[in-house]
Amino acid sequence: MAELTPAAAAQIRESAGQADALGLPLRIAVEKRDDGTLHYAMGFDDVGGEDDLKFESEGIAIVVARSSAEWTHELVVDYVQLDSGEMAFVFLNPKDPNYAPA
């Protein structure tokens, strides 16, 4: 399943505190678009689904819909500084056609 880096986990914890979402699991969703690219989304989940896959990475509870499971199997979520100097989450996924290993 998906894996968080320590930097991503730290930022998620900070975001949860700011959003009054402490204790809620992180939902990761992946959608394959018509052109074959993958679109990623994350957010805190206060509803959940009975068919969700549940696991933990870096102490963060994560939920993924079964429909996204195929695309999250080797996914790594990191929090990095971009060339612009801005900090952002990045999704490193060898199943994504736009993936380029470092």
**Model confidence band, residue 102 (pLDDT cutoffs 50, 70, 90):** low
How many domains does the chain contain in total? Answer: 1
Question: How many Cβ atoms sit within 10 Å of the Cβ of residue 72?
Answer: 24
- Three-class secondary structure of residue 15 per DSSP: helix
The confidence score (pLDDT) of residue 97 equals 84
CA distance 50 to 21: 20
Kindly report the average pLDDT of the chain as a whole number.
93
CA distance 56 to 91: 17
The confidence score (pLDDT) of residue 100 equals 78
Least confident of 33-42, 45-54, 56-65: 45-54
Give 28's contacts (C-beta < 8 A, 6+ positions apart). 2, 40, 41, 42, 62, 63, 64, 68, 72, 75, 77
Question: Would you say residue 45 lies in a domain?
Answer: yes
Question: Would you say residue 77 lies in a domain?
Answer: yes
Range of the domain at 58: 3-92
Question: Would you say residue 102 lies in a domain?
Answer: no
The confidence score (pLDDT) of residue 78 equals 97
Question: Would you say residue 37 lies in a domain?
Answer: yes
The confidence score (pLDDT) of residue 99 equals 83
Looking at residue 9, its amino acid is A
For residue 63, the domain's CATH number is 2.60.300.12
**Per-residue pLDDT tens for 54-101?**
999 999 999 999 999 999 989 999 999 999 999 999 999 998 888 877
